[in-house]
A and B are shown apart, each in its own frame.
Chain A
Amino acid sequence: MQDLINIFVKSIFIDNMIFAYFLGMCSYLAVSKTVKTATGLGIAVIFVLIITVPVNWLLENYILKKGALEWLLGGKALDIDLSFLSFIMYIAVIASMVQLVEMIVEKYAPALYSQLGIFLPLIAVNCAILGAALFMQEREYETIGEATVFALGSGVGWFLAIVGIAAIREKMKYSDVPAPLRGIGITFITTGIMAIAFMSFMGIKL
């Protein structure tokens, strides 16, 4: 249990997707003009992450990893290593899951669907989603529970980051920014300063 809490806190603050790894920057910069849209996208990202990471974990541990096919083929599978296929498998899972999630949400929660709007399909190419899958592979989480908690934490971290920058950008409309820096330039620098603030969590050992 303590392990899970550790992974959760670590993935929100210390290994924050945006401030530590710059993942999902494109949509982070493009969709952070107002807090309302930023919240919508943030929720959508959390949602997709906690579905795709466990599915990819199953894929990794029961099909792709070296010797993972043992449950199917027995002893002779120990030499089979399909991990070079992982990029293409992960992205296929993500693209199809996003499509599936979109259809399910449309059918059962039309209110949420109209709120998320175009953000759902865009998530398929959000690097944070594929990034989380690849980090899950690299860090070799042992149980599906750990993988899910890691996904939730990463999603929450991403959500906090995008809502934070959106709030700052809303306020920044009233400040006098030098003309060449206006818009995207100052957003980069603000994100940099926010990232420095987030780095104060770095020394924390859990």
Chain B
Amino acid sequence: MGKNMKLVTNPLNLNNPILVQILGICSALAVTVKLEPAIVMAVSVTLVVAFANVIISLLRNTIPSRIRIIVQLVVIAALVIVVDQILKAYSYTVSKQLSVFVGLIITNCILMGRLEAFALGNKPWQSFLDGVGNGGGYSLILIIVAFVRELLGSGTLTLPSVGEIQIIPQSFYDAGYQNNGLVILPPAALIIVGVIIWVQRSYTRELIDEKE
């Protein structure tokens, strides 16, 4: 059990897909202007990575290794189509906000990375846990970045099914406080992730790169 537990907890910090494995950056940064799309994206990616891991793990002994990339892509693409259709049906506005990034889950490196590195050599249950853990690690960073960006950039937090909540009180604005427009723009996301890496590595020193 301890070992299985590690599969879920390790990717949250020590082996975080974004901060340490540097996988899945593309979509992570583009959907984090508001909290709501970030949460939806996080849930979608977690579901897709967990189930893709299970499916590939079940098929792992029957896939010829030469065509495995195509097989993996087809499995992922099929799952992503399901997610995309569900989003379009149940939360159309979020699906519009995410635009092409739902489709880009297919080429999200977390998926290919976990399938190649884990699901091809492990049993379905472990693969499922690994998928949940990595999805969780990805979600964690996505939500932190989105939280910072929305709070500083718009002074609000948007939660699914609750809607927009004003966090910075009106009196602050009356006193001359202004939203930071730069945080909304794409470059800020990169800098925030850079800073998160900085904080994380200051605490977990074994992750620090050797001087080249």
Contacts and interface: CB of A to CB of B under 8 A. Distances in A.
A and B part of one assembly: yes
Contacts of A24: 26
B3 interface: no
A22 B29 CA distance: 7
Interface string A155-190: 000000000000000000100001111111111110
B191 interface: yes
Interface string A22-61: 1111100110000000000000000000000000000000
Contacts of B84: 84, 87
B209 A127 contact: no
Contacts of A138: 99-100
Given A22-B30, A84-B85, A130 B190 contact: no
A193 B69 CA distance: 35
A105 interface: no
Given A178-B198, A181-B201, A182-B208, A188 B193 contact: yes
Interface string A55-69: 000000000000000
B208 A189 contact: no
Q: How large is the interface on B (under 10, 10 to 19, 20 to 34, 35 or more residues)?
A: 35 or more
A144 interface: no
A87 B106 contact: yes
Contacts, number: 141
A178 B25 CA distance: 23
Contacts of A110: none
Interface string B172-212: 00000000001001111111011101111110010011011
B77 A91 contact: yes
25 contacts: A19-B187, A21-B186, A22-B29, A22-B190, A25-B25, A29-B22, A30-B22, A87-B77, A87-B80, A87-B103, A88-B81, A91-B73, A91-B107, A124-B69, A125-B112, A127-B27, A130-B104, A134-B103, A138-B100, A179-B208, A185-B197, A188-B190, A192-B187, A192-B188, A195-B187
Interface of A: 19-26, 29-30, 84-88, 91-92, 95, 121, 124-127, 129-131, 134-135, 138, 173, 178-189, 191-193, 195-196, 199
Given A127-B27, A185-B197, 13 more contacts: A22-B25, A22-B26, A88-B81, A124-B73, A127-B108, A131-B26, A134-B100, A138-B99, A180-B199, A184-B209, A188-B194, A191-B190, A196-B187
